[in-house]
Chains A and B, each alone.
Chain A
Amino acid sequence: MRIKLLLLSSLIYSSSTYAIEYTQKSNIKIVKNYKGESGVYLKGQSCASLKEEAENIRQWAASIGESTTEKVRCDCNAIAKTNCVLDVKDIAPKILKQFQFKRPDISGPNCWNTSLVAAKILPHARYTTPEEMNYWMNSPLCKERDSMDEVRPGDVIAIRDKANGEVHGFTYLSNKMAFSKNGFHRSSPYTLQDTKGVFDVYGVAPECQKITGTSDSCKMRGNIYKCESWDSFWEKNKKHMSKDSSVDKVIDQMACYTSSVLFNADKKSIKGMGVVTDTIDAIQELALSNLNEASTVSEAEKIYWERAQYRVAALKVQIEDIIFSPY
């Protein structure tokens, strides 16, 4: 009888096809397929704990203007009630649905870029320099949280070293879950992962994970930021531009094409990068000449041209990897 039960259990488990990526330390697993449908699913020991994390994902979405009141569905295995799966598709922000489990074809998109795209400060996935990351964290778009403040879903956590160098960036959802891409190489996936695990990978001691400003005692520290999207910031400030400019939109188009090549690389698409490389130097010159007039322009206009400058500098690094990629 016992053997029959064992056989029956193994039959039931084997009939559920999961593609599983394990989180390091929490009990929540991120699953790619459930009952024959691919998507983004949380798998854990109870619907109560999964719904708690789902609520954090919903709040993340709301923090970047993607609010939803959709309900979530959580199924538990009829026999082993601790084997539960929750579908996040109706509450997840677009970036999670688009990028979870994904790896680019060409190296470049990294953690800093992922956290800036997740915060809607940048629109497209590509390489981000540490200078670009640092710029945005110190810009009016991002406000550092005081160490007494509660960390909220959607906050950007910047991991720095003692010399104040940027080391890593990720999106906080909860103490159990973060969204990140751990590395610039194409082998690193975008994924939800255990927050403690992220801090461990980068050697941030528990007492150093929520620091305001710098720290003499922490070799690695986490600074926490609440950030506003570029569109929201620019809507309020574009009136301060002394003259119209479409440069940001032109860079958007170049970044969009570059990003599409990164995720669908082939000889033809890489050849098309020629148009981007031709334009990029001209834009860099234009941004520099406008910044040289910085004393005569508003703070918002200065930010507009600095944004262009950092975007172009990072795109140049990314384009080099595309051009020399083995396609």
Chain B
Amino acid sequence: MKRLLLAIFILTSCSTPLPKRKPSSKELKPQTWFEALNSPKKLFIKDDSHEFLEEFNGLQVRLIQSSFEAHSSLAPKFIDLKYDLLECPDIDGFHEVIKINHRENQYDAAQVQFTNLRLGGCGLNIRLKRPFLDHPSIFSAYTEENE
């Protein structure tokens, strides 16, 4: 009986998922939009500049679609990016603008659309203006030593 109880205890412990740990700022390195397109590393939203992203800070994303073509000679006006969030905040969908400060001026660099299907998952659609491709994005990735 004792052995059975012990076996049940071990099995239930193993099947309980480990709590997800949001990486700390020290572990993460900010990525430019271009790096976020190409990085094979895990990406996390890490943005203190935009209030609407506060709920998303530390959440992991996965790029599932990008309109950027590495070999394209045509410089497109916009680059469309689609990310899945691996964890969904319990808020409604929204559409917002990501502004950046550049040489004493502020510019609309990208538009973000958050969709929350609740049980169906959630995602971020981002439309980035091409000239801002090499600017810091809203994403960070693990530094090499923390990977």
Contact = CB atoms under 8 A, between A and B. Distances in A.
Contacts of B131: 320-321, 323-325
B106 interface: no
A323 B34 CA distance: 17
Interface residues of A, number: 29
A320 B70 CA distance: 20
B75 to A, nearest CB: 5
A198 to B, nearest CB: 10
A183 B69 CA distance: 8
Given A107-B133, A186-B134, A320-B131, A112 B34 contact: no
A202 interface: yes
B134 A107 contact: yes
Contacts of B70: 182-183, 185, 187-188
B71 interface: yes
B72 interface: yes
A184 B34 CA distance: 13
Contacts, number: 59
Contacts of A106: 134
Interface string B74-86: 1100000000000
A275 interface: no
Contact of B73 (A110, A320, A323, A326): A110
Nearest to B69: A183
A182 B102 CA distance: 29
B56 interface: no
A108 B72 CA distance: 11
B75 A326 contact: no
B73 A169 contact: yes
A184 B134 contact: no
Contacts of A184: 72-75
Interface string A299-327: 00000000000000000010011011110
Nearest to A314: B75
A326 B102 contact: yes
B52 interface: no
Nearest to B70: A183
A326 B71 contact: no
A326 B74 contact: no
Contacts of A324: 102, 107, 129, 131-132, 135
A321 B23 CA distance: 34
A111 B72 CA distance: 9
Contacts of A43: none
B73 A168 contact: yes
A111 B71 CA distance: 9
A287 B136 CA distance: 39
Interface in B10-25: none
A34 to B, nearest CB: 29
Contacts of A166: 73
Given A324-B131, A326-B134, A326-B135, A111 B102 contact: no
Nearest to A181: B73
A130 B75 CA distance: 10
A167 interface: yes
Nearest to A168: B73
Interface string A177-212: 000001111111000000000000110000000000
Q: Which of B32, B72, B102, B129 has the most CB of A within 10 A?
A: B72
A255 to B, nearest CB: 17
A270 B83 CA distance: 34
A185 B74 contact: no
B89 to A, nearest CB: 29
Given A317-B75, A325-B131, A326-B32, 11 more contacts: A107-B75, A107-B133, A110-B74, A111-B73, A182-B70, A184-B72, A188-B71, A320-B131, A324-B135, A326-B134, A326-B136
25 contacts: A108-B75, A110-B74, A127-B75, A130-B74, A168-B73, A169-B73, A183-B70, A183-B71, A183-B73, A184-B73, A184-B74, A185-B133, A186-B134, A187-B70, A188-B70, A202-B71, A321-B130, A321-B131, A323-B131, A324-B102, A325-B134, A326-B102, A326-B134, A326-B135, A326-B136
Across chains A and B, which 7 residue pairs bring their CB atoms closest together, nearest first?
A324-B131, A110-B73, A111-B73, A184-B75, A182-B71, A183-B71, A326-B135
Interface of B: 32, 34, 69-75, 102, 107, 129-136
